[in-house]
Amino acid sequence: MATVKFAGIVKNFKDNQVLKKVDLEIKDHEFVVIVGPSGCGKTTLLRMLAGLEEVSGGEIYIDDALVNHLHPSRRQIAMVFQDYALYPHMTVEENMSFSLRLKNAPKKEIKARVTEAANILQLGKLLHRMPRQLSGGQRQRVAIGRAIVRQPKVFLFDEPLSNLDAKLREEMRVEIAKLYQRLGATIIYVTHDQVEAMTLAGRIVIMNQGVIQQVGTPIEVYRKPANLFVAGFIGSPTMNFIEGTLRVEKGHVRFASPSLSLDLPASLLAPEGSHEGREAVIGVRPDDVYAGREAGRNCSQKFDSVLEVSELLGHRENLYLKAGELRLLATVEAFFNQSPGSTVPVCFNFENMHVFDKATQRRISA
């Protein structure tokens, strides 16, 4: 069993509070991805769990045992760092076996564990190489191998793929998913890449400025972002946002902005008096903006826009559109086949629309 619990965790570096009362419980065998922009406190949180950084306030538990003051070597946690942190003067085999040799584990056991990890990670042929003789991807594998060999209760990954090029990053992402299925370990994985978060996580924790914004499955945070930050962070390309004012009318809410007015279905936003006059932001993902023929097929409240630029991605195409002062990105089926400057009818998929309160930034739609 290996559960982790952060209770009211605070971290101050002098007068800079970088973690502000973080509460998070991680279940046994869970793959949790912590995602957020650079500097939001992800590494600091992992380092405190590993015992490499002091806690300023709150408690950390591993398997219900308070570990705030437990020495790192006794926490049974293995961390894989972004920069790999391999010992340059040791071979792959020596790097992988280092922690076990330090603990004077029996030679036979060391050999067995290193061999097993090398098999899992396809490092068998590289055991006698030095780190400088390895590619970036291979070094990352060795760093992961070094963690596996220790058979930790919890694996911590700190942006393990961010130094790899795009293609290798995709390959390693799949390998890490397979590794998780094979080891069934508890994993806490930190990244600033929302694609990694969406694809790997059982649950995603979205952080900003030392505060957890939302915790949920990838689908939950994608479909029901709790606030504007999560809405803008999760999903690629980024969601379109339109600012306006809400007016409660007979049986529905009307959204009014200088370039656009829309009747919102009651299923999206109940027509309550509290919405009257509220400053709001509606969010629509590029996939939920129907343009051209798609608009003809799908919807009622159509309006005209002008095509500024299109980007062909392969089977999809990004359309940068302008309706009055409003700029919109629509992702549609290729090939759209229209020149810049042409008029394009547009409408929204109201089923996947999001409404936020501008002042509180919180989601107010269903």
Cα dist from 202 to 22, 46, 227, 314, whole Å: 19, 18, 21, 29
Q: Of 156 and 347, which has the nearer Cβ to ligand ADP?
A: 156
Q: Which of 30, 80, 44 lies closest to 216 in space, CA to CA?
A: 30
- 48 is an interface residue for ligand ADP by CB under 6 A: no
Size of residue set near Mg ion by CB under 5 A? 1
β-pairing, 203-208 vs 211-216, is: antiparallel
- 41 is an interface residue for ligand ADP by CB under 6 A: yes
- 18 is an interface residue for ligand ADP by CB under 6 A: yes
- 43 is an interface residue for ligand ADP by CB under 6 A: yes
- 191 is an interface residue for ligand ADP by CB under 6 A: no
- Among the residue ranges 16-24, 42-50, 203-211, 354-362, the one whose residues contact Mg ion (CB under 5 A): 42-50
- 13 is an interface residue for ligand ADP by CB under 6 A: yes
b/e sequence 57-93, b meaning 16+ C-beta within 10 Å: ebebebeeeebeeeeeeebbbbbbbbebebeeeebbb
Residues 122-161 that bind ligand ADP (CB under 6 A): none
Among 4, 40, 176, 234, binds ligand ADP (CB under 6 A): 40
Tell me which of ligand ADP, Mg ion, none is bound by residue 145, counting a contact when its beta carbon lies within the kind-specific cut-off of 5 to 8 angstroms. Answer: none
The full DSSP string for 271-306 is --GGGTT-EEEEEE-GGGEEETHHHHHH-SS-EEEE
- Judged by phi (left if over 0) then psi (alpha if -120 to 50, else beta), residue 117 lies in alpha
Strand partners, 331: 318
* Angle subtended by helix axes 136-149 and 92-102, to nearest 10: 20
What are the structure tokens assigned to 113, written together?
Answer: 């564990």
- Judged by phi (left if over 0) then psi (alpha if -120 to 50, else beta), residue 365 lies in beta
- 42 is an interface residue for ligand ADP by CB under 6 A: yes
Size of residue set near ligand ADP by CB under 6 A? 10
- Among the residue ranges 36-44, 160-168, 220-228, 343-351, the one whose residues contact ligand ADP (CB under 6 A): 36-44
Among 38, 181, 300, 337, binds ligand ADP (CB under 6 A): 38
- 50 is an interface residue for ligand ADP by CB under 6 A: no
- What minimum distance in Å lies between the beta carbon of 67 and Mg ion? 21
Q: Of 41 and 145, which has the nearer Cβ to ligand ADP?
A: 41
Task: Give the binding site for ligand ADP (CB under 6 A).
Answer: 13, 18, 36, 38-44
Task: Give the binding site for Mg ion (CB under 5 A).
Answer: 43
